[in-house]
A = this chain, B = another copy of it.
Amino acid sequence: MFQFTVEHKSTENQGRCGRLVTPHSRIETPVFMPVGTQATVKTMTPESLVAIGFPIILSNTYHLYLRPGHEIVAEAGGLHSFMNWPGSILTDSGGFQVFSLSALRKVEEDGVVFRSHIDGSRHFFTPERVMEIEMALGADIAMVLDECLPYPSPYEAAKAAQERTTRWARRCRERHCKTNQALFGIVQGVTYPDLREKSAKELVELDFPGYAVGGLSVGEPKPLMYEMLEITVPMLPEDKPRYLMGVGSPDTLWEGVARGIDMFDCVFPTRIARNGTAMTSEGRVIVRDAKYARDFSPLDPNCSCPTCQQYTRAYLRHLFKAGEVLGLILLTYHNLYFLHTLMSQIRRALREGSFEQERREFFARYYKTTEK
């Protein structure tokens, strides 16, 4: 039901191509997973995600637990059935969301107390409780409850959170008992190399079918994130998938893959789309810009997506200026298509040994630089 195979290893860097088989799809890695926070990838129909070719999406345990409630999702036959998504799903553990609530939560050894962002009601997440919720949601991949600290954090706090994350991971491992769902561990340790190493080592001893690197892309400088990957990834088993949580800008995808990451997720492409920003082969395009009022060319002349094949920058600008939902739909589709196509390019480049050259060419076109 859950199988990961490394099919090709780059000779240029730590990157690799693999295949991840879950109960709902066969996933070519490295893969980018769109985020469907509330059981829908914002503004997209499942049919559109299938048409683009996404084999897996992410959904958020914290949000679904609060609304509509995991019992309702379970009664609907699980999350796939509830939201009509035929592919795979990964649910996070809610840890990141809960720890983002700052004033609204309190951490104890047993678990974390927090208040709902919807109605202020009080809730308690323990590792065991989160496993029950994630098993009820029924995703193909579940994540352990972790303690995710902000950047920067003092060493002692980082150490305590890392050690608690290991203890919670063990409790999650013990409680989890859904055979058609894989449970991934999450490496923490903020930006302290020794804590990252210790976290990876302790989690690997628990023998998870996959490992995430968490607590990165939370405000630290990118070189520091890459350094943490260079320390952490070599500590993880070669034959298990490695997932970098919350990362999805084009540069970090290239850099993450080069450091051995297999899976990514991020709200970035869908969120900037709703703000009117498109990722194109020539860099970002802000569609509201007055200079596009009479620009009857496609958003991206090198893109084959329906938005670029059928609509002009002038029309997209009009939709955003007029506040029309179709603008959100068309730009979200394009941005997701762009990242999906980028991941295909990255996998091909890994296989063909042209990764470093293509990365430089991409950065030159997209960022007008060879380094980012």
Contacts and interface: CB of A to CB of B under 8 A. Distances in A.
Given A296-B76, A315-B83, A329 B45 contact: yes
A289 interface: no
A213 interface: no
A294 B330 CA distance: 32
A318 interface: yes
A68 interface: yes
B325 A68 contact: no
A181 B43 CA distance: 35
B72 A314 contact: yes
Contacts of A324: 38, 40, 42
Contacts of A294: 72, 75
A310 to B, nearest CB: 5
A38 B328 CA distance: 15
Contacts of A83: 315
A270 to B, nearest CB: 11
Interface string A15-53: 000000000000000000000001110111111000000
A319 B72 contact: no
B39 A325 contact: no
A285 interface: no
A155 interface: no
Contacts of A45: 326, 329-330
A97 interface: no
B68 A293 contact: yes
A322 interface: yes
A325 B84 contact: no
A284 interface: no
Contact of A296 (B75, B310, B315): B75
Nearest to A324: B40
Interface string A305-343: 010001110110111011011101110000000000000
B326 A44 contact: yes
A325 B326 contact: no
B72 A40 contact: no
Given A44-B326, A67-B322, A39 B315 contact: yes
B68 A312 contact: no
Nearest to A329: B45
Nearest to A315: B82
For the complex of A and B, the 6 pairs showing the least CB-CB separation, nearest first, are A68-B318, A38-B322, A40-B326, A43-B325, A84-B310, A40-B324
13 contacts: A40-B324, A42-B326, A43-B326, A43-B329, A67-B318, A67-B321, A68-B318, A68-B321, A72-B293, A76-B296, A76-B315, A83-B315, A325-B329
